């Protein structure tokens, strides 16, 4: 009698918790916070950011020389957001890693843009010439300050979102059935990451 295994609530010798984890029925959490809802909200915010950025670009609110690059940047935001939402609902690590890589590329590009906004505060004539403005240095400084503030806010949001996504991804990959996806995640992520910079380089050449 002492050697008999206990029968659990599911009528088997397998603990209910392990069974649910194997089937992916337990929602990943960080403390008491449900990560699924948080990630979906992040995805919708990213879509709003991408759409607004695309609309401003199409309305020619930015220098014409950056038109195509900024449209690609806006499209990248929307695609990355849809990838995150799909990955969360379907529990596909590859899609979540795609979002992480896109966000990493976006953060790097945003930091570069932030450096340029600081730099052009001391070279305002170059900035004004890009907008075809003349003798409006005060307005140029104000607009650059607004750009810098928006970029800083976006970088903080993107980094915080990446941390939350990484926590979710770690829990997802630690479950049975997801560990074999790690290699594919890194391969897809690297392809996306480098394709962004290759596309940017091609746009500069042509």
Q: How far, in Å, CA of 103 to CA of 156, rounded?
A: 12
Q: 37 and 30 in contact (C-beta within 8 Å)?
A: no
Task: Indicate whether this model's pTM tops 0.85.
Answer: no
First to last CA, the chain: 80
Look at residue 178 in the predicted model and tell me its pLDDT: 47
The per-residue pLDDT string of the chain (206 residues; one tens digit each, 9 = 90 and over) reads 445 545 444 444 444 334 434 444 555 555 555 677 888 999 999 999 999 988 988 887 777 777 787 888 888 889 889 988 988 888 777 788 888 888 888 888 888 888 888 887 777 666 666 665 666 677 777 878 888 899 999 999 999 998 888 888 777 766 544 444 554 555 555 566 656 665 555 555 44
Look at residue 153 in the predicted model and tell me its pLDDT: 94
Residue 127 vs residues 38, 113, 120, 122, 130: alpha-carbon distances, Å: 38, 13, 6, 10, 5
Instruction: Give the length of the chain.
Output: 206
Q: How far, in Å, CA of 57 to CA of 74, rounded?
A: 9
Closest listed residue to residue 13, CA positions, set 21, 22, 4: 4
Look at residue 89 in the predicted model and tell me its pLDDT: 85
Look at residue 51 in the predicted model and tell me its pLDDT: 93
Look at residue 48 in the predicted model and tell me its pLDDT: 94
């Amino acid at each position: 009698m002492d050697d008999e295994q206990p029968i659990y609530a599911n009528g088997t010798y397998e603990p209910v918790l392990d069974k649910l984890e194997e089937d992916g029925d337990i929602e990943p959490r960080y403390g008491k916070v449900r990560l699924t809802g948080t990630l979906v909200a992040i995805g919708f915010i990213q879509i709003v950011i991408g759409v607004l950025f695309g609309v401003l670009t199409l309305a020619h609110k930015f220098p014409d020389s950056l038109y195509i690059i900024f449209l690609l940047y806006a499209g990248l935001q929307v695609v990355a957001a849809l990838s995150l939402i799909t990955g969360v609902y379907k529990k596909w690590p590859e899609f979540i890693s795609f979002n992480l890589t896109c966000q990493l590329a976006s953060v790097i590009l945003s930091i570069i843009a932030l450096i340029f906004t600081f730099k052009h505060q001391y070279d305002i004539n170059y900035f004004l010439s890009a907008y075809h403005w003349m003798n409006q240095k005060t307005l140029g400084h104000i607009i650059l300050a607004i750009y810098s503030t928006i970029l800083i806010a976006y970088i903080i949001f993107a980094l915080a979102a990446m941390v939350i996504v990484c926590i979710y991804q770690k829990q997802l990959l630690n479950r049975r059935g997801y560990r074999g996806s790690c290699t594919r995640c890194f391969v897809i992520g690297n392809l996306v990451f480098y394709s962004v910079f290759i596309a940017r380089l091609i746009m500069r050449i042509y």
